Amino acid sequence: MKHPIDQYLERYAEPEARDRQRLNKRFRHVVVIPAYDEPVEFAREMLSTLGPNVLMIVVVNVPDNINPRSPMYQRSRRLLQHLSAPNLLTVDRVNQPIPKNQGVGLARKIGADAALGYIRDGTIDQPYIYSVDADVQLPNGYIPSIPRTEGAYLYSYRHVSTDPEVLRRAELYELHMRHYVAGLRLAGSPYAFHTLGSTISVSATAYAQVRGFPRRDAAEDFYFLNKLSKVSKIHLLGSPEIVINARTSHRVPFGTGPSIASITEPDDCYLSYHPQSFEYLRDVINAISTKNEDSLEGPSATTMKQLGYFDFVSRDPSVRQRHEWFDGFKTLRFIHLMRAVLPDVPLLHSLNHHSPNPPPDRTDLISKLRLEDRKPRILGVPAIQYR
């Protein structure tokens, strides 16, 4: 039987990977960056941080619905023309634009598929693919000095900005994301991790097993990690920390950039999930882990019925199969459906629920949650201790 990497490259890899150009030297590691409407300076800064033993694959791309005369198209073309370094490989998806509904997901997949091919060739020594975006500052020690095990490693992160209003919005949205992950952690979910494309590193075999990044114009990181967490352990790194330059953006239909752009309300009016919805989720996780669905009642039972859970468990699947079915996507749907019973409340109020003596403002709250998120953990369905 063929190795998963060989199967993937033969059946599922993008043409750029199958037709990859030959490299004239070997590298120790490989980093992949999709780049649409980005300044050339980002590449210079990353190259100086990564050093000469790391190959950087930049997929310069534009969507196929953009006007070639538009500033975004022209800036992407200039980026393509000016990227040059001995350890930098550019992939041109400007002259062959990416389908608009496949966006950053396809761009990330093209780069990662090419990286996988070079790992298979032996041109890249360490069988790990590092995924970042052009808006990040990579920390010293980003590439580990010792080899990693199979699976995925997720970096800690924080948003920064020199614009006080952009920073305020970014911190509110970051608090919203951290509130959600803290709620999943409280509930005991194996999917209690952040899903940001800039923070992902994955072993070559695990990447091939889940058939790479999905071709989506947004949330490709969420769906990728959702699949990955069912076949491999997810290691949450306490350090080093990736710094993300917050910015309003409409490159994707939803996500961090559009969310930052849409925030207009003051801090104390910004809404997020009701904290009690995570208590109902905890009841669900306990029922799944003990195969005791009869213990569910009220809103949790009603919501799980809406999701089709009771039809699924009528076939008596194993505990592991139950956790794989009630995955990160269905967990998110559960929390969203709970809004019918528990409407969103002001975010800072929700965060007060996590601690009896919460810090008084947004800045202190985000520092507290960042500190909690930086505790190393191992998650994913394979990490569960089954009874």
What are the chain's domains? 4-157+189-263 (3.90.550.10)
Write down the pLDDT at residue 99.
97
CA angle 71, 76, 80 (to 5 degrees): 145
pLDDT reading at 43 higher than 70? yes
Distance (Å, rounded) from C-alpha 125 to C-alpha 143?
13
pLDDT band at 361 (very low <50, low <70, confident <90, very high): confident
Computed over every residue of the chain, the mean pLDDT equals 93
- Please name the residue that has the structure tokens 């619905």: 65
pLDDT at 358: 56
Give the pLDDT of residue 252: 55
Q: What are phi and psi of 13, to 5 degrees?
A: -70, 155
Contacts of 83 (CB under 8 A, 6+ apart): 40, 43, 58, 60, 90
| Residue-level pLDDT at 355 | 57
- What share of the chain has pLDDT > 90, as a percent? 86
Q: What local confidence, expressed as pLDDT, does residue 371 receive? A: 95
**Is the CA virtual torsion 96, 101, 104, 109 positive or negative?**
negative
Q: CB 190: neighbour CB atoms within 10 A?
A: 25
Mean pLDDT of 273-298: 96
40, 281, 358, 375 from 384: Cα distances, Å: 44, 17, 31, 18
pLDDT top residue among 249 and 215: 215
Q: Tell whether the model's pLDDT for residue 353 goes beyond 80.
A: no
pLDDT digits (tens, 9 = 90+) for 3-19: 999 999 999 999 999 99
Average pLDDT over residues 263-268: 89
Q: Looking at residue 254, what is its pLDDT? A: 54
Answer whether residue 331 shows pLDDT above 90.
Answer: yes
Q: Which two tokens stand for residue 125?
A: 């020594």
Q: Are 42 and 96 in contact (CB under 8 A)?
A: no
Q: What is the mean pLDDT of residues 314-330?
A: 97
Average pLDDT (265-285) is: 95
Mean pLDDT of 273-292: 96
- pLDDT computed for residue 253 by the predictor: 57
Question: What's the number of CA atoms in the CB half-sphere (13 Å) around residue 222?
Answer: 15
Which pLDDT band holds residue 145 (cuts at 50, 70, 90)? confident
Q: Which residue has the tokens 């990579």?
A: 138
pLDDT exceeds 80 at position 246 = yes
Tell me phi and psi for residue 167, to 5 degrees. Answer: -65, -40
Q: For residue 149, is it left (φ>0), alpha (ψ between -120 and 50) or beta?
A: beta
Q: Which of 175, 182, 224, 216 is nearest to 199 (CA)?
A: 224
The 10s digit of each residue's pLDDT in 67-106 is 999 999 999 999 999 999 999 999 999 999 999 999 999 9
Q: How many residues does the chain have?
A: 387
What are the tens digits of pLDDT across the range 214-223? 999 999 999 9
Is the pLDDT score of 256 beyond 80?
no
What's residue 258's pLDDT? 79
| The pLDDT of residue 163 | 94
- Both structure tokens of 20: 């990859």
Angle at 6 between CA 198 and CA 223, to 5 degrees: 35
CA distances from 164 to 6, 22, 87, 171, 268 (A): 49, 46, 36, 10, 17
Give yes or no for residue 63 having a pLDDT over 70.
yes
